[in-house]
Amino acid sequence: MLFRSRVVRWWDFAATKKRASGRQPDFTASVKATYDPETDLFYIVDTTLTREDASGVETLVHSVVSNDGETVEQHIEQEPGSSGVQVIRYWEKELRPYNVSVTAHSATGSKRGRWLGLRSAIEQGRVRAVRSPTLPAFLDQLAALTHDEARDEKEQRKDDAMDAASGAFRILIGLTVDKRAGYVGSIHL
């Protein structure tokens, strides 16, 4: 019954390889998820979390989308400006052979505001995750953001996992972001 529901994958792109030392770049993260309205549970079915250059990211996306198949909707956050439009057009063209739906979404409101729905669902115990190779690192990134709201700018916490998971959550639940929304509270994963 779980997989008769709508299944989406949300992509949060970056394109820089891990450095030997110093401040580390963002990750390319994606979450494949579904929602069961009968149980009100959000399921994280698969995750990706990697630091690769543009070529490595492209290879990853082709592999993942090919494995996902035609029934999984692909969603991408569209960065502001004309470059964001070009990136979306590029991915629409690249993924056309897989016969998948590719939808662009402009970010609205603050990141913390966009995370509220997922954070609340986690706090209420309504999020389940299927084991995958990248799931432990993915959950570590979520936990680092949800346990400590006092974020020191010098710390190298990354929010790519939360961006991808909350994007999928918002699509499946049908949430819109209130730009004035505040913080929900601490969440224990």
**E strands of 37-179, at which residues?**
41-50, 72-78, 102-106, 127-129
Q: What is the pLDDT of residue 146?
A: 57
Q: What is the pLDDT of residue 178?
A: 38
Q: Residues 99-109, buried b or exposed e (16+ Cβ, 10 A)?
A: ebebebeeeee
**E strands of the chain, at which residues?**
7-12, 28-36, 41-50, 72-78, 102-106, 127-129
CA 155 distance to own-chain centroid: 21
Going by C-alpha positions, the residue among 43, 160, 175 that lies closest to residue 114 is 175
Q: What is the pLDDT of residue 48?
A: 92
**Cα dist from 143 to 119, 122, 136, whole Å:** 10, 11, 10
| Residue 29 contacts residue 48 (beta carbons within 8 Å) | yes
- Which residue type, as a one-letter code, is found at position 91? W
Dist. CA 188–CA 146, nearest whole Å: 7
| Residue 102 contacts residue 92 (beta carbons within 8 Å) | yes
Q: What is the pLDDT of residue 147?
A: 53
Backbone angles phi, psi at 7, to 5 degrees: -120, 130
**Cα dist from 21 to 18, 105, 178, whole Å:** 9, 33, 38
User: Does residue 119 have a pLDDT over 90?
Assistant: no
Q: What is the pLDDT of residue 34?
A: 94
Q: What is the pLDDT of residue 46?
A: 93
Highest mean pLDDT among 2-16, 77-91, 175-189: 77-91
In percent, the amount of the chain with pLDDT more than 90 equals 32
pLDDT tens digits, one per residue of 144-160? 765 555 444 434 467 78
pLDDT tens digits, one per residue of 66-90? 999 999 999 998 888 888 889 899 9
Please say whether the dihedral angle defined by the alpha carbons of residues 48, 52, 57 and 63, taken in this order, is positive or negative.
negative
